[in-house]
Amino acid sequence: MKGKVWLVGAGPGDLGLFTIKGKEILKRAEVVVYDRLVGDSILSLIPQNAKQVDAGKCAGTHTMAQEQINQTLLKEAQQGKRVVRLKGGDPFLFGRGGEELELLAKEGIPFEVVPGVTSAFAVPAYCGIPVTHREYASSVHVITGHKKKDEPLQLDFEALVRLSGTLVFLMGVSALSDICQGLLAAGMDPKMPAAVLQQGTKAGQKKILSDLEHLPIEVKRQGVETPAIVLVGKVCTLGNEFEWYERLPLFGNKILVTRPKGRSGTISAKLRSLGAEVLELPAIRTECIPDHRRLWEEFARLSDYQYLVFTSPAGVCQFFDKLRQAGKDIRSLGTAKLCAIGPGTRQELAARGLLCDHMPEVYDGAHLGILLGKVCREKDKILIPRAEKGNPQLIEEIQKRVDVEITDLPIYQTIYENPSEWMDEKSQIENGKISMAVFTSASTVHGFAKATEGLDYSLVHAVCIGVQTEAAAKKLGMRTVVSEKATIDSLVDACVKMAQSDIWFRRQNVWN
């Protein structure tokens, strides 16, 4: 049986610019052949069970030759696989997508093309430069700046000058001097505004504004990393006036979110809205305890309990999922009052139509125990369905205050994720590419440490939710900031605080 190939444009890097259709297709992929220009946050969406093929093709370094890529797509599709060819930007704009389809079409392999947002327009937009403007340019022209080694650019510079529009050169940094000299020789004004835009839409975004005559000198002075595009035209004068991305409080920060899969969406979205590039790489996952006998026994006598206490959103999810599997629903709870450790857990209860009766002002196990010690009556029965290794302070604080019957019921266990998937992230931390890591529990810290064994943890800037999480991070030698409250909003505020302190820290190093 023949498989199928999808040529999917991943956009310029920002996850928010990856198309809905692209995401849906990537979710169902069995094989993914990707380029290095694909953003890390998009690569993290590749299904864990999918075969991943690194096709390289970044800044003149090719992991695989184009013919080898073509043959790989064909071979995998012939084996009946769902193959995604994931390409930075748009697959048909200097992405050699047409070449990859030629062989597939010849061999009768079904295929689809999913267009992507091109860096030619998205990157200038993120840098505050409209590629067209009524008063500056009525046309825009996208040109490849790629050239073979030791050969001149094969471009009609005189024709480009006559166009009088905005010129966008993709893959043009290595040929920047040739581009500028060619335009100048063809008669373009040496004072024509021009720019080099580095790693647009990502944490490494950098904008170098100059004029055509001096742009190569300025780029050499400031330095530039690929990928980058070259922009020539009067619209470049608007780059400082219209900049918006650079003004967001988390601009320039790449933040690693270690929260379990499926739980990271809210915090990631909030961080991205503040300008961060977010990489979701869960350090842990939760799985239900394999032996369900105790859980089934407790389900049979749920109505005996006066209090049902949840210490995490995962606990709520696991408990009610298993309750449903046992053929029961919320009617089995009887008159038990529901208690939650914090807003996230309360929200999971609310999603099931259940109102939380009690929640502490400080969202941790100790304060939840203090609260229960005050509201419970003598001989009340309390059921606590939670993680296999739960915080002992919860039960200790209850027992200090009231004589009750407590059933501490382990219903899920914490599993550390595969360390091999963290090799690139470990390198990025060592090279200063990842600004900070967000930890939502001590377990995520432990999982991170297991996955990055050998890392110098003093390089990790940890943003922690709660003192226990911070204690685990400090024990490893991480530099920490702790959120004022155990909420997502407070955690995001702490990320901003960390970013601002890092800016101060970097400035001090420069000044000293």
pLDDT at residue 15, as a whole number: 94
Measured from the Cβ of residue 47, the count of other Cβ atoms closer than 10 Å reads 14
Whether 35 is catalytic is yes
Domains in the chain with CATH codes: 4-117 (3.40.1010.10), 121-247 (3.30.950.10), 254-283+417-511 (3.40.50.10090), 288-415 (3.40.50.10090)
CA dihedral 371, 372, 376, 379 (to 10 degrees): -150
pLDDT at residue 26, as a whole number: 97
Which has the closest alpha carbon to 447: 416, 413, 480?
A: 416
Please pick, among 35, 90, 364, 493, the residue that the annotation labels catalytic: 35
pLDDT at residue 508, as a whole number: 40
pLDDT at residue 511, as a whole number: 34
Whole-angstrom distance, CA of residue 176 vs CA of residue 218: 11
Phi, psi at residue 114, to the nearest 5°? -110, 105
pLDDT at residue 504, as a whole number: 45
Tell me which residues of the chain have a pLDDT lower than 70. Answer: 1, 57-63, 147-150, 262-264, 418-423, 502-512
pLDDT at residue 512, as a whole number: 32
Which has the closest alpha carbon to 33: 17, 60, 56?
A: 56
pTM: 0.85
Tokens of 184: 């100048």
Could you report the per-residue pLDDT of 238-285, keeping only the tens digit for each?
A: 999 999 999 999 999 999 999 877 666 789 999 999 999 999 888 888
pLDDT at residue 415, as a whole number: 84
State the burial class of residue 103 (Cβ atoms within 10 Å of its Cβ: 0-12, 13-18, 19+).
middle
pLDDT at residue 167, as a whole number: 97
Q: Which 3 state secondary structure label does DSSP give 405?
A: strand
Measured from the Cβ of residue 37, the count of other Cβ atoms closer than 10 Å reads 22
Please pick, among 14, 57, 81, 207, the residue that the annotation labels catalytic: 57
Whole-angstrom distance, CA of residue 245 vs CA of residue 125: 9
